[in-house]
Structure 1
Amino acid sequence: MNVVAIRLKPNEDLRQTLKNFALNQNIKAGFILTAIGSLKQATIRFANQEISTVLTDKFEILSLNGTIANTGVHLHIAIADQQGKTIGGHLDDGCIIYTTAEIVIGIAEDFTFLRTIDEQTGYKELEIIPNLRLT
């Protein structure tokens, strides 16, 4: 496993920046190891909802989990407001960094992650392709 780290700065879009980072770094099978920071806007799609909800306030990023690859990202986020109330769901475009986001990404060299339509769910789901090693 390789490990890379990225720090996002104010006004960057969390999801878009991670997508671009995966493309630029040619990450084929990555996953979030740890992430903390803050948002001034959160765009989250809650469970079983078709559209995302935009929240405008200051939030702490408590957790960011999921997969990241040059073929797409699937991330969930947990955030807390100024009273410590926690909310979370599917990370969408429009999560705007307030002061910073510090993210550490693990990269599995033995796999390639693809996003393909799953006939059962109708959504683009994770397809894990083992990389063949030549010995």
Structure 2
Amino acid sequence: MRIAVTYQDGQIFQHFGHTERFKIYDCEDGAVTLATTVHMDGTGHGALAGALKNMKVDTLICGGIGGGARQALAEAGITLYPGASGSADEAVRDLLAGRLQYDPGTTCSHHDHHGEGHGDCQGHSCGGTCH
């Protein structure tokens, strides 16, 4: 199993489409065998799912995420755990132990009405749909 987590300063970054780094965890028999951090170089919403697929990621833990990104991840065969927060390392341990706290209904719908150039979910009010 290869798990990606949107990543910033040890924490789960709260806006999938603006993440600059993923922490990638290779897991076997319920334990992490290798963890690396990958810089995405401003890839953006559309290309992130493809980049994760190319890295052979099969699972993603993140905070807020829009509908288009959800669809792209589904098409890439990547299982999604949105609405998570806190330590990235702890989230992966919790997922492997079957106790990850996340919200499968979490969306970030502001993409549909703000246009390009908006800030991350923590930088504006999105009606509570980001987290």
Please say whether Structure 1 and Structure 2 have the same fold, judged by a TM-score greater than 0.5: no
- Indicate the structure with greater strand content: 1
The TM-score bracket by the shorter chain reads: under 0.3
More helix by share: 2
